[in-house]
Amino acid sequence: MSERASVLEVKHLSAHFETEQGIVRAVDDVSFSVKEGETVCVVGESGCGKSVTAMSVMGLVQTDVKGDLFFKGKNLAELSRGDLRRVRGNDLAMIFQEPMSSLNPVLTIGEQIMEPLLVHHPYSKKQARHKAIELIELVGIGRAEQIFKSYPHQLSGGMLQRIMIAIALSCDPDMLIADEPTTALDVTIQAQVLDLLRTLQEERNMSMLLITHDLGVVAEVADFVVVMYAGKVIETGTVHDIFASPKHPYTKGLLYAKPVLGNRTKKLYTIPGQVPNLVDLTPSCYFHERCEHAMDICREKMPTLKLEDRQHVACWLYEKEVKG
Ligand SMILES: Nc1ncnc2c1ncn2[C@@H]1O[C@H](COP(=O)(O)OP(=O)(O)OP(=O)(O)O)[C@@H](O)[C@H]1O
Ligand code: SF4
Ligand SMILES: [Mg+2]
């Protein structure tokens, strides 16, 4: 089988913020790629840099972002402003965690779906209206004509998230970035929205970068997994390899912390301690204070990502010279 082409390549991405407390290394030397038709999930605890990674790809962070971003083989830094706007408005779309904060409360749903169609395509108003109604139907909402005329506050959370998906799909993107798209929804609606995303992705052979802290979601939709910790990628692998044989102690902890059906009597495991303050980081494995395997070298030197079996993992346990 031929190797699928990369749609998005993120190379050595760093996004640091200057604050009164010091420099926050929100994302530090992060690299991964997303191939055609593939779903890559970025996982990790709150504050580990998942959203800043996504926002950096979309050009939405208010700080200097370092590193290279390639979209369908083109370096985004080398595109003209117009081409860059076309890529980020057309070919790459993003949906956010909180639909209410991304929609304008004083505009109708129809107006908000029509806007990107009118800006990025040579649609007449009538054609854009027709397409908007088609999109509302595509994301599984009935009474599309009526919904078209509604305002955001008249819709449920699940419907609003479907509308966000409709807006994201309006320009037929090659890739969709979804930042915790189901976190704000109740479990049944969450499953429906995930199903919808998966179906649309398969039908359109769209690539998807899905950000979540929920390993249940990862198991459902991911082909490939990127585990982040304190602004760094600490493990990557196929969904099968990550679930069947996690290598990094943090990934193992995340999987161990996942509830399992039939285990009601046992207290849920939580990884001890907290993500370190991203301002005070010294060269070390950032997980060392929480790791039961920590060795002297872990406190002194940062491990780099190395291939171990079929996964990349940044942990001294897998360094041959340390293992002896
Ligand atoms: N504009 C900013 N200025 C300073 N620090 C920031 C800024 N934006 C993000 N950060 C910090 O960067 C770190 C990573 O934030 P990010 O939002 O990417 O986390 P996350 O993994 O998406 O977490 P969550 O799961 O809670 O959404 C956090 O410590 C956050 O406080
Ligand atoms: S490098 Fe050391 S502290 Fe870090 S995860 Fe591996 S064993 Fe634990
Ligand atoms: Mg986030």
pLDDT category of residue 232 using cuts at 50, 70 and 90: very high
pLDDT above 90 as % of the chain? 67
CB atoms within 10 A of CB 265: 5
What's the confidence (pLDDT) of residue 189?
Answer: 84
Q: What is the pLDDT of residue 89?
A: 80
Percent share of the chain, pLDDT over 70: 95
Whether 1 shows a pLDDT value over 60: the answer reads no
Q: Is 52 in the pocket of ligand 1 (CB under 6 A)?
A: yes
Estimate to the nearest angstrom the gap between the alpha carbon of 195 and the chain centroid: 17
Query: Does ligand 1 have an atom closer than 6 angstroms to the CB of 26?
Result: yes
Output the CA 37–ligand 3 centroid distance in Å: 24
Separation of CA 13 and ligand 2 centre (Å): 23
Distance separating alpha carbons of residues 242 and 273, to the nearest angstrom: 23
Mean residue pLDDT of the chain comes to 90
Does residue 277's CB lie within 6 angstroms of at least one atom of ligand 1?
A: no
230, 194, 269, 247: which is closest to 238 by C-alpha?
A: 247
**Fold of the domain spanning 6-91+171-248:** Rossmann fold (3.40.50)
Protein residue closest via CA to atom 6 of ligand 2 = 315
Indicate which atom in ligand 2 lies nearest the CA of residue 298: 2
Angle at alpha carbon of residue 30, lines to 29 and 32, rounded to 5°: 145
Q: For the residues 283-307, what does the mean pLDDT come to?
A: 95
Residues 234-286: tens digit of each pLDDT: 999 999 999 999 999 999 999 987 766 666 556 667 888 888 999 978 899 99
Confidence check: pLDDT of 34 > 60? yes
Average pLDDT value for residue range 91-117: 90
Q: What is the mean pLDDT of residues 208-225?
A: 93
Q: How many helices (H) and strands (E) does the chain have?
A: 13, 12
pLDDT at 136: 94
Task: Give how far Cα 163 sits from Cα of 44, 92, 227, Å.
Answer: 27, 17, 29
Instruction: Specify the residue with its C-alpha closest to ligand 1, atom 19.
Output: 47
pLDDT band per the 50, 70, 90 thresholds, residue 213: confident
The pLDDT of residue 266: 61
Mutate to test the pocket of ligand 1, among 13, 20, 24 (most ligand atoms within 8 A of CB): 24
What does the pLDDT read at residue 268? Answer: 64
Cβ atoms of 238 and 302 closer than 8 Å: no
The per-residue pLDDT for 233 is: 98
Q: What is the pLDDT, as a whole number, of residue 6?
A: 93
Q: Does ligand 1 come within 6 angstroms of the Cβ of 19?
A: yes
Strands 224-229 and 39-43 turn out to be parallel
Residues 52-68, mean pLDDT to the nearest whole number: 93
pLDDT score of 188 more than 90: no
Q: Which ligand is nearest the CA of 213, by number?
A: 1
User: What is the CA(51)–ligand 3 centre distance, in A?
Assistant: 4
Atom of ligand 2 nearest to the CA of 234: 5
**Residue 59 pLDDT greater than 80, yes or no:** yes
Which residue's alpha carbon is nearest to atom 29 within ligand 1?
A: 47
* Distance from C-alpha of 55 to C-alpha of 87, rounded to nearest angstrom: 14
Mean pLDDT of 55-82: 92
User: Measured between alpha carbons, how far is 239 from 178 in angstroms, rounded to an integer?
Assistant: 18
Per-residue pLDDT, 309: 86
The predicted model gives 148-166 an average pLDDT of 93
Q: Where are the alpha helices (DSSP H) in 58-186?
A: 81-86, 99-102, 109-120, 125-138, 144-148, 157-169
| Closest residue to atom 1 of ligand 2, CA basis | 315
- Write down the pLDDT at residue 260: 62
Ligand 2, CB within 6 Å, residue ranges: 248-249, 285, 287-288, 291, 293-295, 298, 303, 315-317
Contact 192, 214 (CB under 8 A): no
pLDDT value at residue 259:
63
Ligand 2: which of 234, 271, 293, 302 to mutate, judged by most atoms within 8 Å of the beta carbon? 293
- Name the pTM for this structure: 0.93
State the first-to-last Cα distance of the chain, in angstroms, to the nearest integer: 38
pLDDT given for residue 285 in this prediction: 97
Ligand closest to CA 52: 1
